[in-house]
Structure formats: structure tokens, C-alpha cells
Chains A and B, each alone.
Chain A
């Protein structure tokens, strides 16, 4: 076991983990943060996307020990009280989901994208979200939600 200390959604947390423990499973099983979904488990679908020191990563492909000392943000860390994060609000208003399984990953990837490029074109949004798959094929509404979030200054 290896002792790690990290900040998750603003709270400091310490834990003993096996080095092979992946960040996605650490968040879900040890911290109970089940908003981070595991889809393909092979670095493809992006459902497990979280922010690691502010940048989107696929948490199924990061060991928890690699996040030692880092800041992790999951979808649970986005709301301020009862208020949705502007990106969540935009996904809600634009009906940017059907089954919702991919949504936490899309929301986290969108936050990272808009941080790097606050006013993306439609093509840049589609390229910027190429690491996230929606099997309900709700891409059009997802792109509209990202545009709405960008307009709202998210």
C-alpha cells in the first residue's frame, strides 16, 4: 500500500492505495464519488473524464498514486450549493443528453476545453470533444450546449 494525499473537490483527503488502483476506481469505490462513470475502461470513451490540476484526463488511465499531491475535480465538485455549474446548466437547457451515462465526462471535458479556448467554433468544439463518445448520438445538442456555455462565459 502507498499513502497518498490529494485534494478532491476542494477537500483534502488521505488514503492508502494499492499502486495499481486506478483513479476512476479510487474515486468511485474508496471515496464514493459515483458521478464519474466507467464506460469502455480502455481510454476511448471519456465517460471517466475528471480534471487533474485543472486539465481533463481519463481517470481509467491514471493510477491514483499519480494523483498524489494533485487537485482532482469530479462532476460532484461543480455545483455551488443548489446551483448547477454553467456547463451543467447549458447541458440541461439544451437537452444535451439522452441516457446521461456519458454526461459527467462530457461536462468535465467541456470545462477543460472552454478553459483552453473560451470561444470555440463549432469545428473546434467537435474536435475538442473527440475524446468523448455518446452512444445515444446526442452530439448536436451537446455542441449546442457547449456553445451556450461559452456564450454564458463558463
Chain B
């Protein structure tokens, strides 16, 4: 369980990290390391260079910006849980962060690292997708903003270019709820559901129901047409591809999605 050997550089700034990423085709960023290090230990991942951005403390913040919030990519899960601005204006992010791993994991894991890792079973990506969040990335040609809908391109894949660093996540102020079903303490979601109200419309996101976080568009459309939560939730598994694995069958995940979406909508 020892990772393959790699070179290590600690970046002193985002620009330095961008430059270091250009040095090696197989370079990877290291933030909190709580997704990357376990995969490296299993040798699923063998980067030849790790660029450590874990000390860039200027990327640890939650700021209010009129009707939106800006979250620094290196904000740790434990910080999301206790942040007063977040709990006032977009509480479900902190509530979901409290369900990630365990206290030790939340002391190290970061929102940017978790989202960029792109595990279809992770919670925060689903919430960002439901919120129509924007992800800010900096690369050699400057900064760009990626809508969450375009960010998650596949399992463990994202829209970042090789030398881009995710620096900030922007979300609207919103009320919402995140429900997660797990079979064991500190496990990944068997299924997770985010329901949020954005600009008078209800958005629903799904975790572990396909290769990336998904939006339950049929549920959203049914609600917009005036369906009851129970009737709309019947569509929760439409157009999804829930996997069958050791924790659940595809059919069971579809069932869970319908139940959890109904509960989330009733709570909203």
C-alpha cells in the first residue's frame, strides 16, 4: 500500500502551480489529499509529479458577494461545516460537508479537491450542479469560469485543462436540502439527493445515479408544471444510469432515488 515514487513540489502561489503543472505531463495537484492519496496507495493513480497547493491559505474563504457566495477552492470540509456566512445563505453545503467521511477526513479534505476528483459518489459535486454553480479556473492563459453543468465530463474526469487550477466556486444564495443514504458510517453515498430552490424554480441533483452528478430534469419539469412532490419524485430515476456494485443494485438505487427525492422535496 505504498504509492509509486513521485517528484514533489510545493507551490507558493496559484501561478507557480500553473507553471509547475506545465513541467510534467503526468503531474497532478495535491490539495488535502484525501481522495488522491488513497487512490495513489492503491496505485490506481501514479502521477510522476505532485504539485502541492495545500498551503495556499488565500484560497480558504467563504465570501458574500451581493446575491452570491464565493468559496475558495481550498476551503476544508470542516470549515464549510462551521462557516457562518454559508450557514446563513446556503446552508445545505455545510450540512452536506458534515456528512463527508469523518472528522479527521474533514480536517484535511477540501471542496475544490473533492469536486475536481470527480467521484460520481461524492456529495458536493451534486450540490454544485443543482445550484448551477460556477467554477473558476486559472491557467497559463488567465482565468475562466466553467458552469457546473459543463464541469463534470465523466467519472473522475472534469473540464479542467492540464495546467488549470480550480481556484473558486461561486454559488447563489439558496435554500435547499441534501439527503444521503449510506449503509455504513462514513461511507460514500449509495444515493444522494440535492433539492434547492433557485430563482423560484426547484432544481434536483443526484449522486451515484450515473457516471457524473446528474440533474433530475424530469422531476424539475414536472414540478414546474405543478406536479405534487410525490408525483414529481416518481420521475427521479428517469434518464439515469445507476450502477450496480457491492453496496446496491441498479434497481435499488433507482428506488432510493425516488424515495429520497420525494423526501427532499417534502422538506424543501
Residues on A facing B (Cβ under 8 Å): 2, 18-20, 22, 41-44, 46, 49, 52, 55-58, 61-63, 65-66, 68, 109, 112-113, 128, 130-132
Contact = CB atoms under 8 A, between A and B. Distances in A.
Interface of B: 1-8, 10, 30, 33-34, 37-38, 40-41, 50, 52, 54, 78, 101-105, 107-108, 185-186
Contacts of A109: 103-104
A128 B52 CA distance: 28
Contacts of B6: 19-20
B38 A42 contact: yes
Given A2-B8, A62-B33, A42 B41 contact: yes
B105 A128 contact: no
Q: Which 8 interchain pairs have the tightest Cβ spacing?
A: A131-B102, A19-B8, A55-B107, A131-B104, A20-B3, A58-B104, A130-B102, A56-B104
6 contacts: A42-B1, A42-B41, A43-B34, A112-B107, A130-B103, A130-B185
Contacts of B185: 130
Contacts of B8: 2, 19, 63, 65
A130 B87 CA distance: 23
A18 B5 contact: yes
A44 B105 CA distance: 9
Nearest to A69: B55
A42 B10 CA distance: 24
Contacts of B41: 41-42
A61 B1 contact: no
B65 to A, nearest CB: 29
Contacts of B103: 56, 109, 112-113, 128, 130-131
B2 A20 contact: yes
A150 to B, nearest CB: 16
A20 B34 contact: no
Contact of B186 (A18, A62, A128, A130): A130
A66 B52 contact: yes
Given A43-B34, A66-B33, A131 B186 contact: yes
A19 to B, nearest CB: 4
A72 B54 CA distance: 17
Nearest to B186: A130
A44 B186 contact: yes
Contacts of B105: 43, 58, 131
